[in-house]
């Protein structure tokens, strides 16, 4: 069950897998490969037959091992000298010319000691059954998983490492190689944790064609207790990590491998004490592999690909970079929508497959649809028919029933300090389950019928000859619904501040100092009473309504609300001419225009369709706000739990609870003596920047890997979805979260990761909007069209690639953002928040 890399049989991929066989062949060629051995596929098959790994998805449990295996493995480890080792999966179907399975199976680095080695082997074996490998095989039409070998090699401690492609994977040009490199272990490069330096090389004659410096912000190295991640000093970040001599040595090794294997090679390497070490070589599968062949042209996307793209866009907009604690609630929401889809005959992805979190708190989106059954879709008309029969006019009665449930739950949560741990967890589940139930009804009774009704309404407008002149939001202008009522309340508070003479103080002091001093004057106390009333009515509104625990509502962070009011006040102070230019046409004019152009029989259809659409919109907005109300109650329970964990010494700060998964919170609450979380919390805090990049990348935001200081050349366009027509030039104001709202000034272009209803007051001030996420049917698009401001959504990487204060042009008609000036204009300074201030109003 053990073969050394120098053994003759080790080059047999049926025994040592693609990775192990390739490394054995490289050693036979005399190339510098670290010493090590392979646990053959025979051991894996023996373990499978004994039930050791079959069906497992991780290797952390004490699984049984084949007879004689443990002693053979530890004897080999002793012979190697018991150093820190890299333990890497090597599937028999891995690293082939047609399929690579790159990254689908697990690798464990920095393994020391017998027990850790056994656990690492189990982890690699179990990865044969993981979901990403199964999905890869499904997409490549591989019907059966091949057995797994495991490569165990002496761990290297490189200064620099990375990847060499002997052909450019995009063009497959015969005389172009590409190297990506960064400091420390190559895991930083191959896993996308850093933005590496990139070099393009020519093989004939050998020379460097181009050099692109990456940000290289962190590095991974072998520490006393495994792999550690540290920050790279500024001086090293700001220079290239390889020189021409090192690059040409890498190129020479790559060309030798390509000549031996007869095809382009993907090579992982490390630079240790100035010498190149070879860690892996496999065929490049990004193109056909023939010399000089070009990458095949992209064909038309399938319905499946388009559906997966829609899933990615929708999840990216509604769940912007979730924290670990958000994951369980997000699974519950996905499950609620999936139940409706299942009844309609679809086969939705499982929540746990769609959204996955790892040990570092990094969450990824896997928007992969399972196979669908055309026969199952015969149930779709019946489900849609039931949705269409629902009367949206019943929303007031439905809302009242839900609010009674909310009231009962709130009264129980009000007594949370007296509850035991089991009661707290039950209340938490009730709040999240209630939100999921409302979301299910939101889709069934309002979103599905609205999609159908919208098509009918717009068809009637087109029959009147006004298909391009009528927007959905034109029909909602004088309608009272949750978001409109909240925005109107903000405007009233702004007017009230002005009438009480408090406007100047707010704009001068900033939100938090302003709040802290309100009860010091009679005018402030009057406003405070009205603020409390507003928060009672609309205070559950949160910046990211579907993030159950990391979002914060106006009631929890009233300074965010005060910042919005400051934005409104500055908007009121903008010139009357600017406000008039942004004023959209009134709804009655649109309604009358369509009515006048339709024939008599169709006028009644038009009015009925519009009336139903308006009622559906009220329900759509109302259900969203109720979800926010239930999640606010869930956060109240979680705050009590976090406080108890702090009091028990399990957590240092209550705010750190969002870095834990739901199961970890439950275990810490019920068995605190068994839990140590300090190092785990620290590790996840350090991983948050990587978590954001990984989340954006998994949502399709490929530009998220670019360095923070990267800026496109002047005039270079950024593309997204055309979402609200028109063209405007203005200074970009990059706003990443609600606490930054006060930085936006009249006439600036709002550049943000996403928007939701709590962001809409900014639209009265902005000249245009650009967002990383979203599409033409999102909240941002609807509100932008209502305000008549040009908007581009889904402009991937906008917040990273656009400098705060630079001049840009937004063309919302075609979905293009153009950089007009590379010189940023500094943001207007804002007052710093008072130290230790607490603006919580309840």
pLDDT tens digits, one per residue of 494-521: 999 999 999 989 888 888 899 999 999 9
- Domain extent, residue 210, equals 160-283
Q: 172-186: buried (b, 16+ CB within 10 Å) or exposed (e) per residue?
A: bebebbbbbbbbbbb
Shared domain check, 141 and 9: yes
Report the CATH number at residue 775: 3.50.30.10
Whether 30 is covered by a domain: the verdict is yes
237-251, 411-425, 625-639: range with lowest mean pLDDT: 237-251
pLDDT tens track for 342-354:
999 988 888 988 9
Residue 506 resides in a domain: no
Most confident of 361-370, 422-431, 814-823: 422-431
Does the pLDDT of residue 140 top 60, yes or no?
Answer: no
Per-residue confidence (pLDDT) for residue 163, from 0 to 100: 86
CATH of the domain at 84: 3.30.1490.20
Shared-domain flag, residues 58 and 148: yes
Say what percent of the chain tops pLDDT 70: 81
End residue of a domain, out of 132, 154, 176:
154
Structure confidence at residue 135 as a pLDDT band (50, 70, 90): low
Together in a domain, 140 and 172: no
Are 803 and 712 in contact by the 8 Å Cβ rule? The answer is no
Residues 139 and 172 in one domain: no
| First and final C-alpha spacing in the chain | 65
Lowest mean pLDDT among 8-17, 412-421, 486-495, 784-793: 784-793
Specify if 683 maps to a domain.
no
Q: Is the pLDDT confidence value at 310 over 50?
A: yes
Q: Within this chain, do residues 78 and 211 fall inside the same structural domain, yes or no?
A: no
Q: In this structure, is residue 67 part of a structural domain?
A: yes
The CATH number of the domain where 191 resides is what?
A: 3.30.470.20
216 and 135 together in one domain:
no
d(CA 210, CA 202) in angstroms, rounded, equals: 10
Do 77 and 149 lie in one domain? The reply is: yes
Q: At what angle do helices 482-499 and 600-647 cross, to 10 degrees?
A: 70
Reply yes or no on whether the pLDDT at 60 is more than 60: no
269, 170: one domain: yes
Q: Among the three residues 283, 318, 352, which one is the final residue of a domain in this structure?
A: 283
Over 60: is that where the pLDDT of 427 sits?
A: yes
Same domain, 134 and 222: no
Q: Which residue has the higher pLDDT, 603 or 783?
A: 603
Contacts of 177 (CB under 8 A, 6+ apart): 164, 165, 166, 167, 168, 200, 201, 202, 203, 251, 254
Angle, CA of 698, 187 and 109, to the nearest 5°: 120
Whether pLDDT at 804 is above 70: yes
Residue bearing the bigger pLDDT, 842 or 410: 410
Length of the chain, please? Answer: 842
Q: What is the 3-state secondary structure (H, E, C) of 244-276?
A: HHHHHHHHHHHHHHHHHHCCCEEEEEEEECCEE
CB proximity list for 357: less than 8 A, separation 6 or greater: 324, 327, 363, 364, 661
Q: Give, in order, the Cα–Cα distances in Å from 814 to each of 417, 453, 701, 817.
A: 55, 26, 20, 9
In this prediction, residue 442 carries a pLDDT of 96
Range among 108-117, 590-599, 611-620, 714-723 rated most confident? 611-620
**pLDDT digits over 69-89, tens only?**
999 999 999 999 999 999 999
Question: How far is residue 251's CA from residue 262's CA, in Å, rounded to a whole number?
Answer: 16
Domain assignment present for residue 783? The answer is yes
Assign 782 a pLDDT band (cuts: 50, 70, 90). low
pLDDT of residue 154: 92
Q: Is residue 33 part of a domain?
A: yes
The pLDDT of residue 451: 92
> How far apart, in Å, are the Cα atoms of 444 and each of 438, 439, 623, 777, 797?
10, 9, 11, 18, 34
Domain-located, residue 836: no
- Average pLDDT value for the chain: 82
Mean pLDDT of all residues in 396-400: 97
Q: Is residue 239 a part of any domain in this protein? A: yes
**Tens digits of per-residue pLDDT, 191-235?**
556 667 888 888 878 888 888 787 788 898 888 877 888 888 988
Reference 193, options 176, 207, 214, 177; nearest CA is 214
Crossing angle (nearest 10°) for helices 326-343 and 662-670: 130
- Asked if 171 and 267 sit in the same domain, the reply is yes
Confidence of residue 825 (pLDDT cuts 50, 70, 90): low
pLDDT at 608 over 80: yes
CA distance 218 to 400: 53
Q: Are 536 and 403 in contact (CB under 8 A)?
A: no
Q: What is the pLDDT of residue 673?
A: 72
Confidence of residue 800 (pLDDT cuts 50, 70, 90): confident
Clarify whether residues 150 and 9 are in a common domain: yes
DSSP string, 273-304: TTEEEEEEEEE--SS--STTPPPPPP-PPPHH
Domain count, the chain: 3
Report yes or no: 55 and 277 within 8 Å, Cβ to Cβ: no
Beta strands in 19-131 (DSSP E): 36-39, 85-91, 107-111
Asked if residue 235 and residue 171 are part of one domain, the reply reads yes
Q: Which of 129, 154, 179 is the last residue of a domain?
A: 154
Higher pLDDT pick, 410 / 378: 410
pLDDT confidence bin for 568, thresholds 50/70/90:
confident
């Amino acid at each position: 069950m053990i073969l050394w890399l120098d053994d003759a049989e080790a080059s047999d991929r049926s025994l040592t897998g693609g990775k192990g066989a390739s490394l054995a062949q490289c050693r036979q060629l005399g190339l510098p490969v670290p010493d090590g051995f392979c646990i053959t596929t025979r051991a894996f098959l023996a373990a499978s037959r004994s039930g050791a790994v079959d069906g497992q998805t991780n290797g952390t449990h004490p699984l049984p091992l084949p007879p004689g295996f443990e002693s053979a493995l530890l004897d080999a480890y002793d012979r190697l000298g018991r150093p820190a080792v890299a333990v890497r999966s090597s599937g028999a179907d891995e690293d082939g010319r047609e399929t690579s399975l790159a990254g689908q199976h697990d690798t464990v680095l920095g393994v020391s000691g017998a027990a850790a080695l056994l656990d690492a082997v189990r982890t690699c074996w179990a990865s044969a059954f993981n979901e990403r490998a199964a999905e890869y095989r499904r997409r490549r039409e591989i019907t059966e998983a091949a057995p797994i070998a495991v490569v165990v090699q002496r761990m290297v401690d490189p200064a620099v490492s990375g990847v060499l492609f002997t052909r450019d994977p995009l063009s497959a040009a015969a005389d172009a190689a590409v190297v990506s490199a960064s400091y420390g272990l190559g895991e930083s490069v191959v896993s996308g944790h850093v933005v590496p330096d990139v070099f393009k090389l020519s093989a004939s004659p050998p020379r460097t064609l181009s050099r692109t410096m990456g940000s290289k912000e962190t590095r991974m190295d072998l520490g006393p207790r495994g792999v550690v991640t540290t920050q790279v000093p500024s001086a090293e970040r700001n220079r290239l990590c390889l020189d021409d001599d090192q690059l040409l040595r890498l190129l020479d090794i790559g060309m030798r491998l390509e000549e031996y294997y007869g095809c382009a090679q993907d090579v992982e390497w490390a630079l240790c004490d100035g010498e190149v070490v070879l860690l892996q070589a496999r065929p490049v599968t990004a193109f056909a592999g023939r010399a000089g062949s070009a990458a095949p042209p992209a064909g038309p996307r399938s319905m499946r690909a388009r559906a997966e793209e829609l899933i990615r866009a929708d999840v990216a907009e509604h769940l912007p970079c979730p924290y670990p604690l958000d994951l369980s609630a997000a699974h519950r929401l996905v499950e609620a929508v999936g139940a409706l889809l299942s009844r309609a005959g679809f086969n939705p992805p499982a929540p746990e497959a769609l959204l996955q979190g790892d040990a570092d708190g990094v969450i990824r989106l896997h928007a992969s649809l399972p196979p669908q059954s055309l026969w199952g879709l015969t149930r779709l008309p019946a489900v849609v028919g039931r949705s269409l029969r629902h009367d949206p006019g019943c929303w007031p009665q439905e809302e009242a029933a839900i609010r009674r449930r909310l009231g009962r739950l709130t009264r129980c949560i009000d007594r949370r300090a007296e509850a035991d741990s089991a009661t707290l967890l039950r209340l938490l589940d009730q709040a999240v389950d209630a939100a999921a139930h409302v979301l299910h009804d939101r889709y069934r009774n309002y979103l599905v019928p609205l999609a159908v009704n919208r098509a009918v309404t717009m068809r009637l407008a087109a029959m009147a000859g006004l298909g391009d002149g009528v927007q959905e939001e034109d029909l909602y202008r004088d309608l009272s619904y949750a978001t409109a009522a909240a925005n109107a309340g903000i405007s009233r508070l702004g007017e009230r501040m002005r009438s009480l003479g408090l406007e100047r103080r707010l704009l001068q002091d900033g939100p938090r100092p302003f709040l802290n001093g309100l009860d010091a004057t009679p005018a402030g106390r009057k406003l405070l009473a009205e603020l409390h009333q507003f928060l009672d009515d609309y205070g559950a509104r949160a910046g990211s309504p579907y993030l159950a625990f990391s979002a914060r509502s106006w009631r929890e962070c009233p300074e965010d609300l005060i910042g919005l009011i400051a934005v409104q006040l500055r908007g009121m102070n903008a010139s009357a001419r600017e406000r008039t230019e942004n004023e959209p046409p009134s709804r009655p004019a649109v309604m009358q225009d369509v009515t006048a152009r339709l024939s008599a029989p169709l006028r009644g259809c038009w009015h009925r369709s519009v009336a139903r659409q308006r009622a559906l919109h009220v329900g759509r907005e109302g259900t969203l706000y109720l979800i926010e109300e239930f999640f606010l109650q869930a956060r109240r329970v979680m705050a009590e739990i976090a406080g108890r964990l702090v009091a028990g010494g399990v957590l240092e700060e209550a705010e750190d609870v969002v870095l834990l998964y739901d199961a970890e919170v439950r275990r810490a609450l019920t068995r605190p003596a068994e839990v140590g979380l300090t190092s785990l919390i620290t590790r996840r805090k350090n991983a948050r920047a990587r978590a954001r990049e990984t989340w954006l990348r998994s949502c399709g935001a490929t530009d998220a890997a670019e360095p923070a200081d990267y800026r496109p050349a002047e005039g270079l366009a950024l593309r997204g979805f055309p979402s609200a027509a028109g063209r405007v030039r203005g200074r970009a104001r990059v706003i990443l979260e609600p606490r930054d709202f006060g930085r936006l000034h009249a006439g600036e272009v709002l550049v943000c990761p996403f928007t939701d209803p709590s962001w809409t007051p900014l639209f009265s001030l902005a000249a245009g909007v650009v967002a990383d996420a979203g599409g033409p049917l999102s909240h941002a698009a609807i509100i932008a069209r209502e305000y008549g401001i040009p908007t581009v959504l889904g402009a991937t990487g906008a917040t990273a690639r656009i400098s705060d204060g630079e001049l840009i042009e937004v063309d919302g008609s075609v979905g293009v953002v153009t950089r007009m000036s590379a010189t940023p204009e500094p943001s207007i300074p804002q007052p710093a928040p008072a130290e230790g201030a607490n603006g919580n109003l309840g």
